[in-house]
Structure 1
Amino acid sequence: MSEPDIRIGDTEREEALRSLGEHMSAGRLELDEYGDRSALVTTAKTRRDLLALFADLPEPHPRFGQVARPAAAEVVPKQAPGSPLSHRLLRAAVPLGGLIAVALFLLIRNPLVFLMVPAIAILAGSVLGDDGRRDRHRDRDRRRRS
């Protein structure tokens, strides 16, 4: 693949827009022409597309870095670690707390025992934080792939 046919990314587009802004500030481009070329920059796919917008303009032009060639590397599959035991126990505490609350309600007939369930959920959530959410998403994704 030749250099002009290499696809560009957002960084190159942003640099091209800055260069066009400098040309407009210097009076080389009118506002309408700047708008037209800016629109073309946002839809440009390759280096050739960008460079064509600067063919009739002096420097500055967009500069492109060297194309990085991916090195042949050995691919080692990454094994996802399981949830730590403490996370699994805390996640199990919420439904267990619900069962205990029902049993206590039947024994003492006080509906306030049901407040124990959200208290356990809040405690477990504060201990787990985002780790618990990541564990649940990872476990769900594993089940879907299986």
Structure 2
Amino acid sequence: MSKPDIRIGDTEREEALKALGEHMSAGRLELDEYGDRTAMVTTAKTRRDLLALFADLPEPHPRFGEVARPAAAPVEARPESAQIARRLVNALVPLTGLVCVLLFFTVLKTPLVFLLVPIVAVLVGSLTGDQHGRDRDRRRRR
């Protein structure tokens, strides 16, 4: 608590709301006063703002621990079948291009057959999302 002007986050606000709830259930705060103080908790910006709400109250007060850094998400190992399925789905777009060329020169003599390529690309993209981009970003973070 040596730095009262440090900005607070949701964790600190939740802790303060919990402490105020304990004071209300102990009879130290009336319902109206509890409502006023909880409203001030939600608009508090710094530790000083929160501590001022507890100046006339005994423990419990909010405790300000070190800001926890988010842990790196573990990289999930995909099952072999999922990797094979993903590769097959990703191969659909180039395969569709080849099929369109074959259809154009053999059966369908219209260039409209090539519209199948963007249609398949959109469908595959909607199914897989930006998985390639996510994998690339995951490798960069390592």
Give me the TM-score of the superposition, normalised by structure 1: 0.56
Listed as ranges, the gaps of 5+ residues in structure 1 are 69-86, 139-146
Asked if the contact 1:7–1:46 (Cα under 8 Å) also holds between the matched residues in 2, the reply is: yes
Asked if the contact 1:12–1:64 (Cα under 8 Å) also holds between the matched residues in 2, the reply is: yes
Distance, in Å, in 1 between the alignment partners of 2:26 and 2:34 is 12
Paired letter, 1:33: E
Q: Please list, as runs of the form range in 1=range in 2, the aligned pairs for 1:40-59 lying within 5 A after superposition.
A: 40-59=40-59
User: RMSD over aligned Cα, in angstroms?
Assistant: 4.0
Distance, in Å, in 2 between the alignment partners of 1:21 and 1:135 is 45
Paired letter, 1:104: L
1:84-107, Cα deviation, whole Å (9 max, x unpaired): xxx9xx868626624641551452
Q: Please list, as runs of the form range in 1=range in 2, the aligned pairs for 1:10-89 lying within 5 A after superposition.
A: 10-66=10-66
CA distance 1:32–1:96, change in 2 (3 Å): same
Distance, in Å, in 1 between the alignment partners of 2:109 and 2:135 is 35
1:144 is aligned to: none
Give me the TM-score of the superposition, normalised by structure 2: 0.57
Listed as ranges, the gaps of 5+ residues in structure 2 are 69-85, 138-142
Shift of 1:59: 1.0
Distance, in Å, in 2 between the alignment partners of 1:29 and 1:104 is 79
Distance, in Å, in 1 between the alignment partners of 2:61 and 2:25 is 15
2:107 is aligned to: 108
Shift of 1:18: 0.2
| Sequence identity percentage | 71
